A and B are shown apart, each in its own frame.
Chain A
């Protein structure tokens, strides 16, 4: 019998990473090859593709993606290796001997052209009616190789029905070129396992278990497959038409809330470098499009911290002091709808560990149609609430049947960054040149703690900033330099931190009804973990199941997407490690530039509690509006 960790994903299914030897002169550390008659030295085991990249030789790729394992299925990156009978796929050829490589011979060029012609011959549809027009890897390859007619014909009729069953992801297999990037994303990167190649030969297609519609399988709607699809075969469920209709209807009061991540990435859709924030330009553009009010989801991110932080304190108090066995620790975050659905499918027995607090999007939805509508004398029926999110799973979340706590559908539409960029373009606006403006009242500006929700570790950092201050009564700057809780930042898959609480202060007014004093936490160590990507979540969940180190944690942040929300399934395409790091930097820079950086200091949040939720966080009314429950789904498909 094999050990559990050996079963899953053999080495060949992990991304190919060559570690450079510390000392490049070690014998066997490097290899010298001839690239187009030029002598080049690279670390042993580098692929020909990487060696070419380093030496500025362009090689076309289609199935290759740096987040994913080597597949070598499209054969576009073929090169000639002297002494080899056939052309070799450069993405899957680790260099181990002093070979001679030619990247542009007549044979190579012709092979590549034939491959592109063959791919196009089975690729149904016209580019101008495709949402990936101008951002399609197949289209740009056709341009690069000067395809001017269909050498091997062109498919005239659609072969498959478009799967529109899911609220989040639409699959159009007629546009699929079988590169298997979505398969590798779903199985290896996210470990969800919804998509695989099914059938054989010319009948091969990417499909789900038993060819079920996407809504009926264990898809968590993370949309990572959309971000990595080279063509238009996968796309998000686009609500633009409905939103335009609402905007054009004078009776409707259309409100948009904007999440922290889209502002750090939307510039990419307008040809700007990754890593530039367009927060204030975006608010102007949204008003010009015709949204009546533009709110900042960071406000409810602050509110989430108040609710979820209080819930954590209550949970720990009940579990550790009152020894109440029905209370489950560690508490898991519930902001990421992809992660929530993942847990519902794969670990339904841990549903009680999920924080009952809604995600910021849904909290805002409930508040807009109650608090805001009351305050401004607007009939909630006339309000159309749109949420700009970096996420495809948010589209599913707002359609959950339990999300009707305001008496109406709390959030009407989830809009992704890509779709908003499209709307801005349709309105004839060039975003980077917009004048700057602020968010609308009564919710106004939010704290930097809400902003960093967009990066992995952000929820944890925001929670630590608040919980530390509430417990110790001192400034968080006294414990962490410049308020930056660096132990929970960064892109490692699983981060673990122990934060000792050395001193305690008096219980703040807002928590007085809930806990008598802080004596029980004095000298304790708060153990936290931050996890992003569901493959990493699986590791941590298995560890918790086995009673390992993570089962002793108090609070764990889970995000379904690699990198957190900034790498979400609704963000601009393409995505890779470098782009995600730049977006994270943009978010952290914006946080540092703000004066308000702690959720519990947000005046607007405190006013909301005074005016609307006078009994404070986790009270009866807040439970009705701001908390939710979950469904045990399981992974068996009948």
Chain B
């Protein structure tokens, strides 16, 4: 990583700390800020957060590895999370997964070659009465059909 990039990340974290404070409990909001901006939390960013909050890097890594919405490796610009829990499964999640995989030529758990989409399964989204459901970035889509799912993804830049 270039020194300039490193300095930029440090500055961003310092900005986040001004907003959220430097208590241990500010860890998750700070990590979310980084995740939002860079779509991942790099090794260096984790160590910088640890230094600025005066905790150990492994504690930051422990938190990052615990939460499914935080990740250490770069992902696509848009993250598609399809609910895999039982009600959505019964309502036809498999067909939707297959349609999306065919459309994007990319398997679940992977990122498309143009880095536009990352596909993931998620556990219950709380939309059991309106399944199957998925989240694209921060937006929830319910009552999916294979055609509707493909349509939604094609509208995303």
List the interface of chain A (C-beta within 8 A of B): 1-2, 4, 6-8, 10, 187, 192-200, 207-210, 217, 635-638
Contacts and interface: CB of A to CB of B under 8 A. Distances in A.
Contacts of B59: 187, 193, 196
Contacts of A636: 44, 47
B23 interface: yes
B61 A196 contact: yes
A181 to B, nearest CB: 16
A210 B61 CA distance: 7
B58 interface: yes
Contacts of A193: 55-59
Q: Do most interface residues of chain A lie in helix, strand or loop, or is the interface mixed?
A: loop
B62 A198 contact: yes
Interface string B24-39: 1000000000000000
A638 B46 CA distance: 12
Contacts, number: 64
B54 interface: yes
Given A192-B56, A196-B61, A210-B43, 5 more contacts: A1-B21, A198-B65, A198-B66, A199-B66, A637-B43
B127 interface: no
Interface string B100-140: 00000000000000000000000000000000000000000
Contacts of A6: 23
A637 B24 CA distance: 21
Interface of B: 21-24, 43-44, 46-47, 53-59, 61-62, 65-68, 72
Contacts of B58: 187, 193-196, 198, 207-209, 217
Given A2-B21, A2-B23, A637-B43, A197 B62 contact: yes
A234 to B, nearest CB: 16
B22 A1 contact: yes
Contacts of B23: 2, 6-7
Which of B46, B47, B53, B58 is most buried by chain A, counting CB atoms within 10 A of its CB?
B58
Contacts of A217: 58
A209 B53 CA distance: 16
B54 A200 contact: no
A10 B24 contact: yes
A461 B23 CA distance: 41
A635 B61 CA distance: 15
Contacts of B61: 196, 198, 209-210
A614 B68 CA distance: 67
A633 to B, nearest CB: 14
18 contacts: A1-B21, A2-B22, A6-B23, A7-B23, A7-B53, A7-B54, A187-B58, A192-B56, A193-B55, A193-B56, A194-B56, A194-B58, A196-B59, A198-B58, A199-B65, A200-B68, A637-B43, A637-B57
A638 B43 CA distance: 8
Nearest to B68: A200
A194 B22 CA distance: 22
Nearest to A638: B43
A194 B67 CA distance: 20
B151 to A, nearest CB: 34
Nearest to B23: A2
A204 to B, nearest CB: 9
A209 B21 CA distance: 24
A210 B21 CA distance: 26
A195 B56 CA distance: 10
A7 B22 CA distance: 8
A202 B72 CA distance: 20
Contacts of A194: 56, 58
A196 B43 contact: no
Q: Which 9 residue pairs of A and B lie closest in terms of their CB atoms, listed nearest first? A: A193-B56, A196-B62, A196-B58, A209-B58, A7-B54, A198-B65, A209-B57, A200-B66, A209-B61
A56 to B, nearest CB: 39
Nearest to A208: B58
